[in-house]
Structure 1
């Protein structure tokens, strides 16, 4: 063997006895076969076999297996983002002439995808009140193939009665999908409450460090595997094993991160509720929240993302006041180590429900900083907003 060939060929090394707690990063496009017959029969390897890097490596399969166990599902697929998970969760099961019913509190990019692309493909797109089962009953029909849920809902955080929604959908022969990014599978398991597909934005809590984009979708039954797998193959969608390995690392601290962030969030919520400029705080773990009974019945815990609704006439003073923050950062997304705030508009993203009051909710995501620093920031923010509202700025 010549030296140039030695540079290309990979020698086999003995790995017996090598046991690491870390998951190895396997990068591959080409998968080689022992002989021509194995190559010819590569299609017989099934979803657990390896045939081409597009369909998975040991690294991505490890993350998929861990998520499948947490979700209590049949199989998990990885995609490049949480929004990609939402789109792939519905695309394989819709064709021209079909219908999809989407919760009015859905993630805005999901609404944009439905209104722009699904409608362009000839799919009937409708929205229903997330907490009004009668509205769902009225709007569902024989064309409806998917009922899409998100619980709690994006920004306004309505908690949906998933078992009852699933019963209605399944009675009409429709699948149920649920975006579970807020709770993660540690705190809510939609597949055990009637959902057929559950999606996660791994970008957020599960990776936990605001440094990658990844999403997952997990199915309840094996019969849903082939349509999703073949769709991913046709669209050429795959994920980096390096990103998957970072999610696997972040996932190991998911429980302690979420527990700490939630405890600190509740202390901040208490401070916010004391302020005269705050009308209410939106978080389903609060006894005063309309979704609290359903949350207590179905959820195992809660995250540290919540919304602040300000008293009438105050909302306009909130965005310019954010500049006083020293520990909180201003930015989209959530679930990382850094605490974030973001002013969110609501009314432009609603069609089946009406949001009362001002068109702004301040979304807060609590990270891992010291509680005292975060409380100081909240106090400074409330003081700045109050000062501006009184005309002192």
Structure 2
């Protein structure tokens, strides 16, 4: 299926809404039935019907069709946030007494799900260094039901060998889930490597404007409909029609935004490599990165995120650098038009610090600004700590 067709035509039955170029926001909670028999049929197959927006809504369905096609999946289901999608996907695969093997250092709330929430309901979780697939093998038990990946992860960007982990899962009768938010469906398609369920924070690249939140699970129609009938309808973490419309708008420009972000990130990273105040750069598409060949094999391009380690053991130096940046916003997310930083130093200064990344790490997200404009800003911030 052609990318241009997916983004501009798939699921858009314009003759049904007055041939409007932009799809409508069907801001309704209910859909009426003409007969008892029609309502009966819808109730029996609500996963495929528009009956109640807590189940299906045509604006949301249009988004689901497009993201599923981008991932090469049979079907998809949208949620109100990325972690809602992650939680529903994980819960759909486990019961009390089961065991999960999860990559270490996943997204913070995924980590909370794995290590605080699931154990409350009798599900054990083992965290492993996913850079070596054999660590998954060594952690598998007779009751292991799920292998969870996040490749690359969202701060230090370690990758997992997706094909190797999915082969292990098939060998041991386990399911696999991978969070693909970092790469977007344009630059990595885990289903091609055998992953059962792919999850996204649509808040990031898919939305692209920092004005809407959403999550998505992609997979086989059988698996997605089973999630619809259980976790989705029961827990109710739905995506609102207006947010779905904003995410649809974001999809229109996804290819051009990703191309710009990728090129600008390479330019900024190349400049940072020459700066003496930078100890190292965590960026999978650097030839010096230990997983560079794996990144090229699994991903079609780099994206806009990388992390630098400042050459200092003084947290105040790190704070001064971050506070001196004038054109990077300090914020928790990424994927929008604006460039951002997220300092590991924010985790320090009180409370539990075990397991936190080193305080001299600063995550960058490169947005749509001119890269030379951003480099000048980083240059003056580095000068502030020289």
Q: Same fold (TM over 0.5)?
A: yes
Tell whether the 8 Å contact from 1:105 to 1:350 is kept in structure 2 after alignment: no
Q: Which residue of 2 aligns with 1:226?
A: 225
Larger Rg: 1
Shift of 1:320: 2.6
- 1:194 maps to 2:194: yes
| Offset of residue 184 of structure 1 | 0.3
**What corresponds to 1:379 in structure 2?**
379
- 1:65 CA displacement: 0.2
TM-score, scaled relative to structure 2: 0.90
* Partners of 1:359 and 1:327 in 2: CA distance: 22
CA positional deviation for 1:46: 4.8
Structure 1 residues 54 and 311, CA gap change in structure 2 (3 angstroms): same
- Displacement, 1:359? 3.8
Q: Name the SS of the counterpart of 1:55 in structure 2.
A: coil
Would you say the 8 A contact 1:141–1:172 is kept in 2?
no
Aligned residues of 2:208 and 2:337 also touching (Cα < 8 A): yes
Which consecutive residues of structure 1, in runs of 5 or more, have no partner in the other structure? 1-14, 387-393
Give runs of aligned pairs for residues 1-393 of structure 1, distance below 5 A: 18-219=18-219, 221-230=220-229, 231-313=231-313, 316-344=316-344, 358-386=358-386
Cα deviation 1:85-138 (Å, max 9, x = unaligned): 111111012111001111003111111111111000000111111112222111
Conserved? CA contact 2:31–2:51, under 8 Å: yes
RMSD: 2.0
| 1:338-390 Cα deviation digits (max 9, x unpaired) | 10011126998987xx97xx44410000111122221110101111122xxxx
- Assess if the C-alpha contact under 8 Å between 2:188 and 2:300 holds in 1: yes
Aligned residues: 367
Q: Secondary structure at the match of 1:149?
A: strand
Distance 1:244 1:229, change over 3 A: same
Q: Once the 2 structures are TM-superposed, how far is the Cα of residue 40 of structure 1 from its aligned partner?
A: 2.5
> Does the 8 A contact of 1:55 with 1:233 survive in 2?
yes
Contact 2:312/2:360 (<8 A) preserved: no
- Separation (CA, whole Å) in 1 of partners of 2:321 and 2:248: 38
Residue 343 of structure 2 contacts residue 359 of structure 2 at CA under 8 Å; is this kept in 1? no
1:389 alignment partner in structure 2 = none
The 8 Å contact of residues 321 and 385 in structure 2, kept in 1 or not, is answered as: yes
Contact residue 206 and residue 247 of structure 2 kept, 8 A:
yes
**In 1, Cα distance between equivalents of 2:222 and 2:354:** 34
Partner of 2:12: none
Q: Residue 115 of structure 2: SS of its match in structure 1?
A: helix
Under a length normalisation based on structure 1, what TM-score does the superposition of the two structures give? 0.89
